[in-house]
Amino acid sequence: MAKESKKSAGQKLAEKLFFSLKNCWDEIDAKTEKEVEELASSYKQFLDRGKTERECVIAARELLEKNGFADIQTLEGKKLKAGMKVYQNIRGKSLIAAIVGKKPAVEGCNILGAHVDSPRLDLKQNPLYEDCDFALLDTHYYGGIKKYQWTVIPLAMHGVFAAEDGKITTINIGEEPGDPVFTITDLLPHLAKEQMQKKAAEAVEGEDLDILAGSRPFADKEAKEKVKLNILSLLHKKYGITEKDFACAEIEFVPAFKASDVGLDRSMIGAYGHDDRCCAWPALKALVSLSREKDAPEKTVICYLSDKEETGSAGNTGARSSNFENFTAMLVGASEAELRLCFSRSAMLSADVNAAFDPTYAGVFDKKNSSFMGKGLVLTKYTGSGGKYGASDANAEFCARVQGIMSRNKIQWQFGALGKVDKGGGGTIALYAANLGIDVLDCGVPVLSMHSPFEVISKIDLYTTYRGYIAFLKEA
Ligand code: MN
Ligand code: MN
């Protein structure tokens, strides 16, 4: 047996005073290992089903209803009692769910707020055109993307057409085995001499993100634009739509590939849409987990899945709308003044991702303030850009409260600045909650290659975040 090395006074003091992080995989036992895999597996299914905000809301509703949550609007006139489980579907694109606590809601709620929209390519209002016997679909990108990343990958078509008579036609092409997929072409290197000299932001321009949708003419000698006609004819046969119907549609092109384990050790998940479904899913699962407990939670607990975060949370399904206030008003069920009081006493984790430190691009990170994959959930005190512009910047007291919850429950957390000062920036829905007077802190999973078609997270961070969310809902 090796002789136990004696620690020096300085070593002991360093252990006490320094902030140090373990790799969470080092601490794992067999039971946890199983739970990590189970959560990862349910999450991958959620990702494959939910590639748009609408599909995520459908999947969330299904899970909630299976667990006894009822549409709050069907309960009109009924008094909410402790333990009741309710949700509101907001235009099919955002959702808020809650479990009524033992204490009245006016005493404050514990909230998890994530978003279910992700960067993608939306079709324009009049997208279809023909050029040199190709049918192409014109897009407008949604959210912050590196445009060149969206060419030469298989894309799937998701979305809805709304008809004047109120009928909704759902589209999902490119996901089932045997489905056709779509793609955006790029220039061969042999002819890309000029393109390769351009800045990355200009190498592929937004207006050139046009989707290859067909190349076969309609069989008719006299007709014009026969390739376009053929595509419209196929769409009309299958869905009954005509060209003008694109103007009342929401069609999103997203990567056609499925979520997969990454690495020989299968420690990571690669997929489209981790931002922010890797926080939305554990947040929703945390709420459902509480709903299965015998006793109602002390405080009312809420899970908010918002839309439009990637474009600044504007619009009537975004976090800047009054949807969250309206829902909470139904929970409080009292005067406007009491609703405001409820907000001022509420606590929220803005459940959103942060950039994981990437050794390949170490130069843009401040290593001692970055989050690392495999090292637990990230607490991000502030986001914004430049001089903390647009950041809600959580106060020290609330940071301490959240850290305390994590420490008591042995949930490893880490610091998370987005990158070096002046290297860029970003935001979350935290500031819109802060506007209501809610105490709010960003808390989520570190992500590699954020906003790309294939983002990567660690399974252990997903699990740690899930546990952290449960602890917060119970104890904040
Ligand atoms: Mn996000
Ligand atoms: Mn984002």
Q: Given this model, what pLDDT does residue 118 score?
A: 98
Q: Which ligand is nearest to the CA of 353?
A: 1
Phi and psi angles of residue 77, each rounded to the nearest 5 degrees, phi first: 90, -25
CA of 51 to the centre of ligand 2 (A): 14
Q: Which ligand is nearest to the CA of 279?
A: 1
3-state class (DSSP) for residue 261: strand
| Per-state percent for the chain, helix, strand, coil, to nearest 5 | 35, 25, 40
Q: Which of 226, 255, 284 is the last residue of a domain?
A: 255
In this structure, are 224 and 312 located in the same domain?
no
Tell me if 139 is assigned to some domain. Answer: yes
CATH number where 418 lies: 3.40.630.10
CA of 416 to the centre of ligand 1 (A): 14
Q: Given this model, what pLDDT does residue 188 score?
A: 97
In this structure, are 28 and 77 located in the same domain?
yes
CATH number where 139 lies: 2.30.250.10
CA of 32 to the centre of ligand 1 (A): 27
What total of structural domains would you count in the chain? 2
Q: Which ligand is nearest to the CA of 452?
A: 2
Diameter over CA atoms, the chain:
92
CA of 414 to the centre of ligand 2 (A): 20
Q: Which ligand is nearest to the CA of 426?
A: 2
Tell me if 4 is assigned to some domain. Answer: no
CA of 209 to the centre of ligand 2 (A): 20
CA of 118 to the centre of ligand 2 (A): 7
Q: Which of 255, 289, 321 is the last residue of a domain?
A: 255
**Of the candidates 117, 116, 115, 119, the residue with the CA atom closest to the CA atom of residue 142:** 119
| Cα angle: 476, vertex 275, 45; to 5 degrees | 95
Kind plus residue range of the DSSP H or E element containing 182: none
Rg of the chain over all Cα atoms, to the nearest angstrom: 24
Q: Which of 255, 290, 312 is the last residue of a domain?
A: 255
Q: Which ligand is nearest to the CA of 119?
A: 2
In this structure, are 129 and 106 located in the same domain?
no
| For helices 274-291 and 53-66, angle between their N-to-C axes, nearest 10 degrees | 10
Give the separation between CA 252 and CA 137, rounded to whole angstroms: 11
Q: Given this model, what pLDDT does residue 2 score?
A: 56
Give the separation between CA 433 and CA 56, rounded to whole angstroms: 22
Tell me if 264 is assigned to some domain. Answer: no
In this structure, are 153 and 250 located in the same domain?
yes
Q: Which domain holds residue 135?
A: 120-255
Low-confidence ranges of the chain (pLDDT < 50): none
Give the separation between CA 253 and CA 41, rounded to whole angstroms: 24
In this structure, are 106 and 152 located in the same domain?
no
Residue 420, CA atoms < 13 Å, CB-side half-sphere: 10
Collect all residues with Cβ–Cβ distance below 8 Å to 261 and sequence separation of at least 6: 40, 268, 269, 270
Tell me if 8 is assigned to some domain. Answer: no
In this structure, are 178 and 214 located in the same domain?
yes
Neighbouring residues of the ion ligand 1, judged by CB less than 5 Å = 275-276, 352
CA of 310 to the centre of ligand 1 (A): 7
In this structure, are 308 and 388 located in the same domain?
yes
CB 275 within 8 A of CB 455: yes
- Number of Cβ within 10 Å of residue 317's Cβ equals 22
Q: Which ligand is nearest to the CA of 113?
A: 1
In this structure, are 205 and 334 located in the same domain?
no
CA of 433 to the centre of ligand 1 (A): 15
pTM given for the model: 0.96
DSSP per-residue letters across 416-473: ---SSTTS-EE--SHHHHHHTT-EEEEEE-EEBSTTSSSEEEEHHHHHHHHHHHHHHH
CA of 356 to the centre of ligand 1 (A): 13
CA of 329 to the centre of ligand 2 (A): 29
In this structure, are 416 and 278 located in the same domain?
yes
